[in-house]
Amino acid sequence: MATFSAFADEIAPDLKTQMDVCESFNIRCIDVRNIDDTNVSTFTVEKARGYKAQMDDRGFSVPCLGSPIGKIHIGEDLDAHLDLLKHCFEVADAFDCKQIRIFSYYGPEGGDIMACRGEVMDQMARMVKAAEAADMILLHENEANIYGALPDGVKDLFATIKSPSFQGIFDPANFVVEGIKPFDDGWQQGLAELTQFFHIKDKVHGEKACCPAVSCGLAGVAASPPWGWGTTSAVRVLCSQR
């Protein structure tokens, strides 16, 4: 059975309001990304333990940390970035969490990330090796303009770096940004087998903003089509798993 969790910082900065609203939708899992306007990657371990205690009191758990790891240019200080990932492992432990969302780097300033394949794979392999040593799982999210922005880049990452500590997030709306039809051109073209997490939000091709995937009732609100490509892909994927 699927577990539904939320990036609850999109509700409010403070944890209490985040939990209040999630609880009203019968969601008891939060993928911690920001609390009190502070990103999880910069929490102290003590601060994370304090938030964890508040969540325990209300029966909430943390399936995944929404870190920004890998969302820097490949020419930046990668050693320091690896150290930040290792700090995220300590924060994850404080939340009793084993999974951390990551990305696969932007190109150098003015450069093409796809021309930096060797550097990307080297750094991603270092990150996965660190995750293996810490008994953590890195979840790669497709995101515009990174190496794994398109299905072929995602598949290349997972064909090159094979580890139980490296798994995938499928974000259909982020593929829409790249002009990809997520279900036809991604899910059915090899990404289903690589997916551990699935992000649900809606996106209409050509429009700038994303919006909640409410059209099909996924956020507790029933309405009728037409849907954007994000919700349409979510519905098709969920129906294909029945």
On whether residue 91 sits in a domain, the answer given is yes
On whether residue 25 sits in a domain, the answer given is no
Write the single-letter amino acid at 85: L
Burial 130-142 (b: 16+ CB within 10 A, else e): bbeebebbbbbbb
Read off the pLDDT band of 110 (50, 70, 90).
confident
Closest CA to 64 of 92, 43, 45: 92
Closest CA to 146 of 177, 171, 174, 113: 113
163-174: per-residue pLDDT in tens? 999 999 999 989
Residue ranges making up the domain that contains 164 = 64-240
On whether residue 190 sits in a domain, the answer given is yes
Count of alpha carbons within 13 angstroms of residue 10, beta-carbon side: 11
141-151: per-residue pLDDT in tens? 999 999 999 99
Is residue 146 within 8 A of residue 70, CB to CB? The reply is: yes
pLDDT higher than threshold 70 for residue 219:
no
SS3 227: coil
SS3 190: coil
Structural tokens at position 9: 């910082």
Read off the pLDDT band of 242 (50, 70, 90).
very low
Read off the pLDDT band of 117 (50, 70, 90).
very high
Q: How far apart are CA 120 and CA 107, in angstroms?
A: 9
SS3 29: strand
pTM exceeding 0.85: yes
Say how many domains are in the chain. Answer: 1
pLDDT higher than threshold 60 for residue 133:
yes
**Residue 233: which CATH number?**
3.20.20.150
On whether residue 46 sits in a domain, the answer given is no
Write the single-letter amino acid at 59: G
Over residues 90-116, the mean pLDDT reads 97
Spell out the residues 6+ positions from residue 65 whose beta carbon is closer than 8 angstroms to its own.
31, 32, 33, 40, 41, 88, 91, 92, 95, 97, 99, 100, 101
Count of alpha carbons within 13 angstroms of residue 191, beta-carbon side: 29
Write the single-letter amino acid at 140: H
